[in-house]
C-alpha cells in the first residue's frame, strides 16, 4: 500500500485489488462498530504482505496470526487493553502509519481514585503516573439477552457438524469444526495468543514451562482456553475445550468471575448444564467490550 495518505487510502487500495474486497469484509467481527472495523481493516490490509503464505479465502496459521494481532491492536486502541511488552512493541510496529481519530481516553484506577485525594502539603513529591489497567464496570446491560440467540444458533450448527463427523472425539479437527460453524452463523472466531511464561495467574506447575496459551472468544463471549508447545497446538486444545461445552442439551451465556493479572474481573462465558467445581483459566485480555 502507498506510504502517504492521500484521500481514502483503503478505498484506493481495494479498487486496485478488487479480489480482496469481499474477502476482507468477511473478516469483520459481528460486535465491531464501523469505526473499529475500518481501523482494523486498514491494519489487516497494511500487513497482509508481511504474511506471504496467506491466501484470501483459505484458512491458515498465518491468517490466524494476522487476525489475532489485528484484534490485539484494536483492543488496545479502542478498549485500553494492555499486553506483554513484546506484543505491544509488535502491534505498534505493524500499525505504523495508521491514524485513528477521536480514540477513547482511558484512565487507570489510580488516576480515578486520585481525584478524590487532597494533596498532603505544598511540598508533596512530584506525581508519578502509575501504569494500571482501564477501569470497567462489567459487561454492558442486556449483554446476556443480546448474545444468547446467536449461541442458540451456533449450538444447532455444532450439533449437526458433530453428527456428520461421527460424534465428538480426540481425532477431530476441532478448530476447523468450530471455525466453520461460527462462520456459518455469520460471525468470526477470535484467537488471542500469549506466551505461557508471561501469564502470572497460571497454576504453579505451569509457570516454568515453555509454550503458548490460546483463548477463544466469539462476539466477546469466552469459549475456551488451551495450552500447547506452539500457537497451532494451543489453538487446537482451546477449540477442543470449547466444543466440549456443546455436548449437553443447551448452552448458556452467563456472567462469571475470572482472574486477569491478579484482579477479579467479570466476563461473559459460554457454559453447559454441567455443575462446575473449579474456576476458569485466567483471562488473556480484558474480557468484555463495552456496548458501542
Q: State whether 153 and 219 are in the same domain.
A: yes
Q: State whether 147 and 267 are in the same domain.
A: yes
Q: State whether 200 and 89 are in the same domain.
A: no
Q: State whether 172 and 254 are in the same domain.
A: yes
pLDDT of residue 290: 39
For the domain that residue 157 is a member of, what is the CATH number? 3.30.160.20
- Would you state the cell numbers that stand for residue 45, as one nine-digit string? 490490509
pLDDT of residue 121: 39
Task: Determine, yes or no, domain membership for 153.
Answer: yes
Q: State whether 155 and 230 are in the same domain.
A: yes
* Domain carrying residue 204: 143-271
Q: State whether 193 and 260 are in the same domain.
A: yes
Q: What is the pLDDT of residues 87-116, one digit of tens each?
A: 888 898 888 888 888 776 655 545 544 544
How far is Cα 49 from Cα 245, in angstroms, rounded to an integer? 37
Q: What is the pLDDT of residues 41-61, one digit of tens each?
A: 888 888 888 887 888 888 888
Cβ(263)–Cβ(4) below 8 Å? no
Task: Determine, yes or no, domain membership for 1.
Answer: no
pLDDT of residue 203: 57
Residue 1 has pLDDT above 60, yes or no: no
Q: Which of 94, 125, 159 is the last residue of a domain?
A: 94
Q: State whether 77 and 197 are in the same domain.
A: no
Q: Among 35-44, 78-87, 245-254, 276-285, name the one with the lowest average pLDDT.
A: 276-285
Q: State whether 74 and 167 are in the same domain.
A: no
Task: Determine, yes or no, domain membership for 292.
Answer: no
Q: State whether 149 and 84 are in the same domain.
A: no
How many CB atoms within 10 Å of residue 15? 10
Q: State whether 147 and 259 are in the same domain.
A: yes
Q: State whether 66 and 167 are in the same domain.
A: no
Q: Quote the number of domains for the chain.
A: 2
Buried b / exposed e along 36-53 (16+ C-beta atoms within 10 A): bbebbbbbbbbbbeeeee
Q: What is the pLDDT of residues 127-185, one digit of tens each?
A: 333 333 444 556 777 888 889 999 999 999 998 888 888 888 878 899 999 999 999 99
Task: Determine, yes or no, domain membership for 225.
Answer: yes
pLDDT of residue 209: 63
Rounded to an integer, the average pLDDT of 78-92 is 85
Task: Determine, yes or no, domain membership for 277.
Answer: no
Task: Determine, yes or no, domain membership for 217.
Answer: yes
Of 130 and 235, the structure prediction assigns the larger pLDDT to: 235
Q: What is the pLDDT of residues 239-275, one digit of tens each?
A: 999 999 998 889 999 998 888 877 888 889 999 887 7
Q: Which of 53, 77, 94 is the last residue of a domain?
A: 94
How far is Cα 165 from Cα 190, in angstroms, rounded to an integer? 23
Alpha helices in the chain (DSSP H): 9-16, 21-25, 34-47, 61-79, 85-94, 109-114, 143-164, 174-184, 231-244
Task: Determine, yes or no, domain membership for 196.
Answer: yes
Task: Determine, yes or no, domain membership for 89.
Answer: yes
Q: State whether 46 and 161 are in the same domain.
A: no
Residue 219 has pLDDT above 80, yes or no: yes
SS3 state of residue 251 = coil
Amino acid at each position: 500500500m502507498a506510504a502517504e495518505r492521500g484521500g481514502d487510502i483503503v478505498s484506493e487500495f481495494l479498487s486496485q485489488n478488487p479480489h480482496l474486497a469481499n474477502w476482507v469484509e468477511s473478516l469483520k467481527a459481528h460486535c465491531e462498530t464501523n469505526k473499529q472495523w475500518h481501523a482494523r481493516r486498514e491494519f489487516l490490509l497494511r500487513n497482509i504482505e508481511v504474511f506471504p503464505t496467506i491466501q484470501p479465502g483459505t484458512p491458515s496459521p498465518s491468517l490466524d496470526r494476522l487476525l489475532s494481532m489485528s484484534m490485539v491492536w484494536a483492543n488496545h486502541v479502542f478498549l485500553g487493553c494492555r499486553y506483554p511488552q513484546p506484543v505491544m512493541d509488535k502491534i505498534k510496529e505493524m500499525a505504523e502509519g495508521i491514524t485513528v481519530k477521536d480514540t477513547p481516553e482511558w484512565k487507570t484506577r489510580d488516576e480515578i481514585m486520585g481525584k478524590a485525594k487532597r494533596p498532603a502539603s505544598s511540598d508533596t513529591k512530584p506525581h508519578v503516573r502509575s501504569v494500571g489497567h482501564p477501569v470497567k464496570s462489567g459487561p454492558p446491560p442486556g449483554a446476556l439477552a443480546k448474545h444468547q440467540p446467536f449461541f442458540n444458533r451456533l449450538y444447532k450448527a455444532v450439533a449437526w457438524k458433530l453428527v456428520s463427523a461421527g460424534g465428538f472425539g480426540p481425532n477431530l479437527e476441532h478448530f476447523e469444526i468450530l471455525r466453520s460453524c461460527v462462520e456459518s452463523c455469520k460471525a468470526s472466531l477470535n484467537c488471542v495468543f500469549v506466551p505461557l511464561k508471561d501469564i502470572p495467574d497460571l497454576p504453579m506447575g505451569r509457570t516454568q514451562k515453555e509454550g503458548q496459551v490460546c483463548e477463544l472468544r466469539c462476539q466477546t463471549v469466552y469459549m475456551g482456553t488451551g495450552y500447547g508447545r506452539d500457537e497451532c497446538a494451543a489453538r487446537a486444545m482451546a477449540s477442543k475445550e470449547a466444543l466440549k461445552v456443546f455436548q449437553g442439551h443447551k448452552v448458556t451465556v452467563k456472567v462469571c468471575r475470572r482472574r486477569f493479572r491478579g484482579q477479579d474481573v467479570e466476563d461473559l462465558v459460554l457454559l453447559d448444564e454441567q455443575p462446575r467445581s473449579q474456576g476458569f483459566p485466567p483471562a488473556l485480555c480484558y474480557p468484555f467490550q463495552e456496548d458501542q
